Amino acid sequence: MLINCVSYQNGVKLADLPVEEISDYLERTDCFVWVALRDATDAELEKMQEEFGLHDLAVEDAHHGHQRPKIEEYGDTLFLVMHLVEIVNSEMAVGEVSVFAGRNFILSVRNRSSQNFLGVRERCEREPELLQLGSGFVLYALMDAVVDRYFPVINDLESELESIEEHLFDKGAALTNIEQLYKLKRKVVVLKHAVLPLMEATGKLHGGRVPPVCATTQEYFRDVYDHLTRINATIDAIRDTITTAILVCQSTVSIEQNEVNKRLAAWAGAGIWGMNFQHMPELKLEYGYPLALLVIGAICGFLYYRFKRSGWL
Amino acid sequence: MLINCVSYQNGVKLADLPVEEISDYLERTDCFVWVALRDATDAELEKMQEEFGLHDLAVEDAHHGHQRPKIEEYGDTLFLVMHLVEIVNSEMAVGEVSVFAGRNFILSVRNRSSQNFLGVRERCEREPELLQLGSGFVLYALMDAVVDRYFPVINDLESELESIEEHLFDKGAALTNIEQLYKLKRKVVVLKHAVLPLMEATGKLHGGRVPPVCATTQEYFRDVYDHLTRINATIDAIRDTITTAILVCQSTVSIEQNEVNKRLAAWAGAGIWGMNFQHMPELKLEYGYPLALLVIGAICGFLYYRFKRSGWL
Amino acid sequence: MLINCVSYQNGVKLADLPVEEISDYLERTDCFVWVALRDATDAELEKMQEEFGLHDLAVEDAHHGHQRPKIEEYGDTLFLVMHLVEIVNSEMAVGEVSVFAGRNFILSVRNRSSQNFLGVRERCEREPELLQLGSGFVLYALMDAVVDRYFPVINDLESELESIEEHLFDKGAALTNIEQLYKLKRKVVVLKHAVLPLMEATGKLHGGRVPPVCATTQEYFRDVYDHLTRINATIDAIRDTITTAILVCQSTVSIEQNEVNKRLAAWAGAGIWGMNFQHMPELKLEYGYPLALLVIGAICGFLYYRFKRSGWL
Amino acid sequence: MLINCVSYQNGVKLADLPVEEISDYLERTDCFVWVALRDATDAELEKMQEEFGLHDLAVEDAHHGHQRPKIEEYGDTLFLVMHLVEIVNSEMAVGEVSVFAGRNFILSVRNRSSQNFLGVRERCEREPELLQLGSGFVLYALMDAVVDRYFPVINDLESELESIEEHLFDKGAALTNIEQLYKLKRKVVVLKHAVLPLMEATGKLHGGRVPPVCATTQEYFRDVYDHLTRINATIDAIRDTITTAILVCQSTVSIEQNEVNKRLAAWAGAGIWGMNFQHMPELKLEYGYPLALLVIGAICGFLYYRFKRSGWL
Amino acid sequence: MLINCVSYQNGVKLADLPVEEISDYLERTDCFVWVALRDATDAELEKMQEEFGLHDLAVEDAHHGHQRPKIEEYGDTLFLVMHLVEIVNSEMAVGEVSVFAGRNFILSVRNRSSQNFLGVRERCEREPELLQLGSGFVLYALMDAVVDRYFPVINDLESELESIEEHLFDKGAALTNIEQLYKLKRKVVVLKHAVLPLMEATGKLHGGRVPPVCATTQEYFRDVYDHLTRINATIDAIRDTITTAILVCQSTVSIEQNEVNKRLAAWAGAGIWGMNFQHMPELKLEYGYPLALLVIGAICGFLYYRFKRSGWL
């Protein structure tokens, strides 16, 4: 579905274009075209390929989706795939956006995601002095928007981890904790798959040899790269902590078991007075029974007290 | 066993050749020869070595098989080994295909696999404008076919993992889960051995200095590389998840044990009323026995309820 | 909040400047300006951006804070972010300082930290022969001050680890130990995030191609790099030891459990004499009961002795 | 002990030489000398050093042995150390061979190993067209022989692992399995130490800048490198599997324990009827006792059946 | 404390110098000065800095000590820090030696270590043909001496590991083993910190661009590098083995526990005959009691036998 198809000159919107005129505008050196598609059909993509002269392999990737995030050069054109990650009903939902960026055009194709980029276009149009940097700046603006949306996701994951940590040493909570940690780890892996490949690819858009589209906006791409590095480091820290936390859960289970066993040992004392020896004088005492109960209870209580003091409960 | 031996000119099939005429065609600069062998005998390979002028070491590798996936240059000729991985009766079956690619010839030798490449030839012949790119494109088409067949394998492994995950927190399923996770890991390792070395080798077929055979089709090889990277990342994620899942299984075993022990402790209460004190008034109560059973049952029930509530069953 | 704004010539303080005159001084080639801000407001930062001609992205980073430590070049200007790490009430407190270093100016912006850099300025002013090396030396002095403050933090972490280690094999201390190890690991991760990225960035300030600001003071930056490498190695060692220590704790829990179970088994002996066989001659012995107690006690004692001898208690 | 000392011309054996004449032959440009020593004495090595003009440090290494596998250049001479690994009585035996390879000589010194290289010399002499490639080819032939002997070792280790895996889920086999896995890991480490450094060193004998001795036989050294890469990958897979297998063993122990405890809980039922309540009507039933046994037995049987069905036994 | 201060010409000792004359000798191009200090005072170091013209930062490092091993260039002068590792009363003792190596001088400053380098000086003076290579050779001789002293340390650690391994599967030894493994790991980490950074630094003293001091003695530094690589590989192997061994200890604890529990289950049989059913004919048998004991004993014995057969005891 076509969302927008607009041409810009000197950072200012020129006109909404019918799709057929795109190639005409591309021949002009003084303006660039920015097209946005959503869940594009075969026909739409074919039309775009024709108008922009895109490479077969890239179009195929944009069409089939389920790509790894990546940045590829096809001649002068840059082809970029990013994952759109949201948390919907506490599940990760992963969409995809493919961007083709040429000297004087930007084509974005969004798949399986409710996140849109209308805000990006508006913000760009409000800053013509930046927008006139051309397609490189639009590419940056799109990347920046995608990456900025990773931050709330990672914050969600972090606070999920923290809420598990609060109950990490709670008695009897080990199973719930482990289950939640396992699910959390699965989510973290999904985010990692969105971030790490994109980070590696973005690292090639600044410093050293750079695709021509990005030449004038290197510092902006370094900024995106920097954000991705930060997210990636946080992801790694979360993963590491999850592993340690599972280990800790295992230990608390064993320690709890120890306590149960010790109390079991106390009850075993009752066996003493169940022996059938003929000469067991305490059995004849009037208060022998309550005393025995007291002794058993006292031992249990003492173990419980020591256990509690050592920080468990 | 010889399967095909065909010469092509400008992307169009010229003729089926007898093996002896291969070297004659190789002298012509305007056409190329595409030969396919299957489980080749010594004599066939010797004949091919003679006709194509192949290097001793490469022929030896193609003959003995059981190589690591790799890409090697012998002068102008590229020698490529790939693993063919299938799941047959839920076991991994690993075959091998060796490909020799020269300026104007392609020779593929397939070993121990039922997967064939007839489809690749048909598809190539249907697209003469691509086939006329020469042996580089045929090499790509073969690699693409092999790599595409890894995707269903990895999907199988992923859904196997998911079906284990569904029962991960089931009571009493730990042993079965661990056994299945262990077997799954073994399969994943087999696939990893097929994918990782091929990925590393393919990375050298695009960007920077590239073997002459691949020079005009670099973008295609980048596409193959990209697929391999994706598969490889998925494999790593599966491995990581398996390790965590085994850890989780271990924990569920311990937690289940805790529950059993606690109920054991409840039963131990029966020992109290087995003591032989003379003054134990409740023993004389008419409903002492059923009351005692009730108490024990109530404790067990309470533990069971708390356990259930905490998410286990 | 503006803390200082001073111009220097030949390593000697020239004058305290009003903020508005900064740009005038920057035009002079014979002196440099050193400005220090703390928890700067929007207006202050805007003013500084105007006076020094700073890049949008860098100013934005300095303003929002919560950056990863990094060093970035914007044209001739170096932009540096460092974490200020303190232990306050045995919790890690992380502040941030951003430094802009140009040919003839230094601007530092400190956020969320009580650590100040007055001492750095004083020391620099006492050594005019070094201070006349210019903004590069001031940059070094600031980095050196930040990094030097990591050492007491890491010493704290190390002695915390050592005090846990002292109780590592104490009976019943496993839970406390694991909890403390877990918390310690969390702190170590925070420090790691401050040190590792800074170390990697600092590695680019000496040897090979170096930003012009640092050209004359490379050996000093190598010294900072060296300190960071040392801290980083210590952090890695602590992390590794923590993991092993948690493993050890798990083991001690299991071993303690073994001991409890063995003593439980001894008590089970009492069950023998609770059997109702008619011919159990020892039951009729006058001293049967105390003898039985003695036997049970002796076994428990023996187990306890063997356990103690093996180094536990 | 001197084993052989032969000069070759154009790939054909010229003469058995007395050691003293070596230096005379080295001056001739048209032939090369191939000397083999075994457990050489000080005097023999000194003599060799004199005749071939070898470097002090290399001779010292060859003499003392217990080196890490390595390849070093001393001027034009290549010095190579390889480990000879055999399995003797199911223990790893590690010998060593040092090779000095110059423009027109090869000197091999074998230590602490029963493996000899007579077969290598015979095979070389049978292929004069290859042998006339000179000392580079002999070096390759020696390396190839050493590396080929790693394959049976790794096959042994793999089948050892497989035979452990067959019993991995056997009841009561955990201890034996763990012990065997531990020993297997130790052996794998020994092989790893022979293979990995040699692989790294061999990687420098082909592609890019190459020592002159190996210049004409690069493709052969790539073949050796390829074999070493394959062995190394297999070693890593074995190591990884061993770690997982130990984890699995730990789990089976816990699961088995769970079963024992559950049955213990069943027996605890007997405690019920050991209570001394006066009104326990079932105690007076004629068939109360066998019924009670039946109930206990039935519970045990049911647990056993469920356990067996879940795949254990 | 000054130990030696000697000038050498053509590899032969010229004279013992008073400290004040050092700078005079440094101006002569035909000789070099070798000075050794031990636990130097501030005054001594200041004097040396003056005589040799050393860099502030390096002198500071030599003075404060507790540096990471490293090699730094200050202009023409090389500054080297190495750790001196000894085992004193089965504890690791870490001293430090700093070496300044210029074109025609060597200054070594040793701190907190009883190891001295008199032997190095003697050996050098006995080999004037090597000593005349100049300060580079002395530097090598010092490094070689330090590194050679790592070998006995690592041998100690290895035999400590082996002596633990002998008892790895001993019954009841788990706690002692884990404690010893933990301590061993701590020692290994200390050695690792001495070796790894030095290895990395030494790798830059041969091949490619090399500091002028080392130019003529590259092959010697490669030899030192090779030794360090060997030590480092052994350290890594020990670390890996320790981790596995702790895992194994954990498993043996669990297995032992299993055995105890099974025997506990056997004793639980006694509960059967403690039931108060009226019709339990075996209770009236004359030999019922001894028979019951026999049955219990037999089961225990059988379990013990099976356990022993499986290799434990």
Higher pLDDT, A282 or C26: C26
DSSP calls for C103-114: TTEEEEEEES-S
**CA-CA distance, D223 to B147, in Å (whole number)?**
25
Which residues lie closer than 8 Å to D63 by C-beta, 6 or more apart? D40, D42, D45
- What's the gap in Å between the CA of D2 and the closest CA on chain B? 33
H or E stretch at C9: strand C2-9
Residue of E nearest to D258 (CA): E258
Residue to substitute from E78, E179, E193, E304, interface C, most C β-carbons within 10 A: E179
Whether the pLDDT of residue A313 is over 50: the answer is no
Which residues lie closer than 8 Å to E151 by C-beta, 6 or more apart? E227, E231
Instruction: Tell me the residue type at A227.
Output: H
Cβ contacts below 8 Å, chain A against chain C, sum to 123
DSSP calls for chain D: -EEEEEEEETTEEEEEPPGGGHHHHHH-SSEEEEEEEES--HHHHHHHHHHHT--HHHHHHHHH--PPPEEEEETTEEEEEEEEEEEETTEEEEEEEEEEEETTEEEEEEES-S---HHHHHHHHH-HHHHTT-HHHHHHHHHHHHHHTHHHHHHHHHHHHHHHHHTTT-TT-HHHHHHHHHHHHHHHHHHHHHHHHHHHHHGGGSSSS--GGGGGGHHHHHHHHHHHHHHHHHHHHHHHHHHHHHHHHHHHHHHHHHHHHHHHHHHGGGGGGG---S--GGGGSTTHHHHHHHHHHHHHHHHHHHHHHTT--
Beta bridge partners of residue D80, listed in sequence order: D71, D99
Residues of A with Cβ-Cβ distance to B169 under 8 angstroms: 175, 179
Which residues lie closer than 8 Å to B3 by C-beta, 6 or more apart? B36, B37, B38, B116, B118
Using CB atoms within 10 Å of the CB of residue C209, give its burial: 0 to 12 exposed, 13 to 18 middle, 19+ buried: exposed
What's the pLDDT score for residue B262? 75
Q: Out of B81-95, C88-102, C289-303, pick the least confident.
A: C289-303
**Which among E251, E262, E278 is the nearest to D260, CB-wise?**
E262
Residues of D with Cβ-Cβ distance to E308 under 8 angstroms: none
Contact C257 A252 (CB under 8 A): no
Task: Identify whether the C-beta of residue D32 lies closer than 8 Å to the C-beta of residue D7.
Answer: yes
Q: How many helices (H) and strands (E) does chain E have?
A: 10, 7
Instruction: Tell me the residue type at E289.
Output: Y
What's the pLDDT score for residue E313? 44
Torsions phi, psi for B17 (to 5 deg): -105, 145
List helix spans (H) across chain A: 22-27, 42-52, 56-64, 118-126, 128-131, 135-148, 150-166, 174-202, 218-268, 288-309
**Which among C175, C193, C250 is the nearest to A311, CB-wise?**
C175
Give me Rg for the CA atoms of chain E.
32
Beta pairing class for D105-111 and D31-38: parallel
Contact D280 B289 (CB under 8 A): yes
Whether the pLDDT of residue A71 is over 90: the answer is yes
**Which among D240, D261, D272 is the nearest to B270, CB-wise?**
D272
**CA-CA distance, E233 to E227, in Å (whole number)?**
10
Contact A273 B269 (CB under 8 A): no
Tell me: the pLDDT tens digits for C30-43? 889 999 999 999 99
Instruction: Tell me the residue type at B150.
Output: Y
**CA-CA distance, D217 to D134, in Å (whole number)?**
9
Residues of D with Cβ-Cβ distance to B271 under 8 angstroms: 271, 274
Residue of A nearest to B239 (CA): A189
Residue of B nearest to A247 (CA): B247
Task: Identify whether the C-beta of residue D175 lies closer than 8 Å to the C-beta of residue D70.
Answer: no
Contact D74 E219 (CB under 8 A): yes
**CA-CA distance, E63 to B247, in Å (whole number)?**
50
Residue to substitute from C229, C275, C304, C309, interface E, most E β-carbons within 10 A: C275
**Which among E185, E193, E271 is the nearest to C233, CB-wise?**
E193
Contact B271 D271 (CB under 8 A): yes
Cβ contacts below 8 Å, chain B against chain D, sum to 123
Confidence class of residue E268 from pLDDT cuts 50, 70 and 90? low
Cβ contacts below 8 Å, chain D against chain E, sum to 123
Cβ contacts below 8 Å, chain A against chain B, sum to 123
What does pTM read for this prediction? 0.85
Tell me: the pLDDT tens digits for A168-183? 988 778 888 999 999 9
Whether the pLDDT of residue A227 is over 70: the answer is yes
Residues of B with Cβ-Cβ distance to A293 under 8 angstroms: 272
Task: Identify whether the C-beta of residue B307 lies closer than 8 Å to the C-beta of residue B299.
Answer: no
Tell me: the pLDDT tens digits for B29-71? 888 999 999 999 999 999 999 999 999 999 999 988 888 999 9
Tell me: the pLDDT tens digits for C121-179? 999 999 998 998 889 999 999 999 999 999 999 999 999 999 999 999 887 788 889 99
Confidence class of residue D268 from pLDDT cuts 50, 70 and 90? low
Task: Identify whether the C-beta of residue C84 lies closer than 8 Å to the C-beta of residue C110.
Answer: yes
Residue to substitute from D177, D182, D299, interface E, most E β-carbons within 10 A: D182
Which residues lie closer than 8 Å to B238 by C-beta, 6 or more apart? B154, B157, B158, B161, B184, B188
Tell me: the pLDDT tens digits for B190-199? 999 999 999 9
- What's the gap in Å between the CA of D48 and the closest CA on chain B? 34
DSSP calls for E150-173: HHHHHHHHHHHHHHHHHTTT-TT-
Residues in chain D, overall count:
313
**Residue found under tokens 């006076």:** C51
**CA-CA distance, D82 to D200, in Å (whole number)?**
12
**Which among C68, C253, C289 is the nearest to A277, CB-wise?**
C289
**Which among C176, C189, C261 is the nearest to A311, CB-wise?**
C176
Tell me: the pLDDT tens digits for C186-198? 999 999 999 999 9
- What's the gap in Å between the CA of E3 and the closest CA on chain C? 29
DSSP calls for A129-144: HHHTT-HHHHHHHHHH
Residues of B with Cβ-Cβ distance to D312 under 8 angstroms: 175
Residues of B with Cβ-Cβ distance to A261 under 8 angstroms: 261
Give me Rg for the CA atoms of chain D.
32
Mean pLDDT of C217-237: 93
**Which among E230, E244, E254 is the nearest to D253, CB-wise?**
E254
Whether the pLDDT of residue E155 is over 90: the answer is yes
Contact B189 D254 (CB under 8 A): no
CA dist list (Å): D197 to D71, D139, D190:
9, 17, 12
Residues of E with Cβ-Cβ distance to C251 under 8 angstroms: 174-175, 178, 246, 249-250, 253
Instruction: Tell me the residue type at E179.
Output: E
Mean pLDDT of E40-55: 92
Whether the pLDDT of residue E287 is over 50: the answer is yes
Provide the strand spans (E) within C55-211. 70-74, 77-88, 91-102, 105-111
Which residues lie closer than 8 Å to C60 by C-beta, 6 or more apart? none
Beta pairing class for D70-74 and D77-88: antiparallel
- What's the gap in Å between the CA of D172 and the closest CA on chain B? 14
List helix spans (H) across E53-173: 56-64, 118-126, 128-131, 135-148, 150-166
Residues of A with Cβ-Cβ distance to C238 under 8 angstroms: none
- What's the gap in Å between the CA of D257 and the closest CA on chain B? 8
Contact C310 E264 (CB under 8 A): no
- Token pair for residue E73? 């260039």
* Angle made by CA atoms D214, D216, D222, in degrees to the nearest 5: 65
What's the pLDDT score for residue E221? 94
Whether the pLDDT of residue D312 is over 60: the answer is no
Tell me what the pLDDT averaged over chain B comes to. Answer: 88
**CA-CA distance, C138 to C143, in Å (whole number)?**
9
Residue of B nearest to D226 (CA): B68
CA dist list (Å): B138 to B15, B37, B130, D94, E44:
17, 15, 9, 47, 76
- What's the gap in Å between the CA of B56 and the closest CA on chain A? 37
Q: Residues of C at the E interface (Cβ-Cβ below 8 Å)?
A: 168-169, 219-220, 222-223, 226, 229-230, 233, 237, 240-241, 244-245, 247-248, 250-252, 254-255, 257-258, 261-262, 264-265, 268-269, 271-272, 274-280, 306, 310-312
- What's the gap in Å between the CA of E55 and the closest CA on chain C? 10
Confidence class of residue A59 from pLDDT cuts 50, 70 and 90? very high
**Which among B169, B261, B311 is the nearest to A264, CB-wise?**
B261
Contact A233 C72 (CB under 8 A): no
Tell me: the pLDDT tens digits for A252-304? 888 888 777 777 766 666 677 777 777 777 777 777 777 877 887 887 788 77
Q: Could you tell me the maximum CA-CA distance found in chain D, to the nearest angstrom?
A: 114
Contact C258 E261 (CB under 8 A): no
Which residues lie closer than 8 Å to C143 by C-beta, 6 or more apart? C80, C82, C202, C221, C224
Higher pLDDT, A75 or C257: A75
Whether the pLDDT of residue C313 is over 70: the answer is no
Confidence class of residue E270 from pLDDT cuts 50, 70 and 90? low
Whether the pLDDT of residue A312 is over 70: the answer is no
Contact E251 D256 (CB under 8 A): no
Tell me: the pLDDT tens digits for A148-157? 999 999 999 9
Residue of E nearest to C254 (CA): E253
H or E stretch at E188: helix E174-202
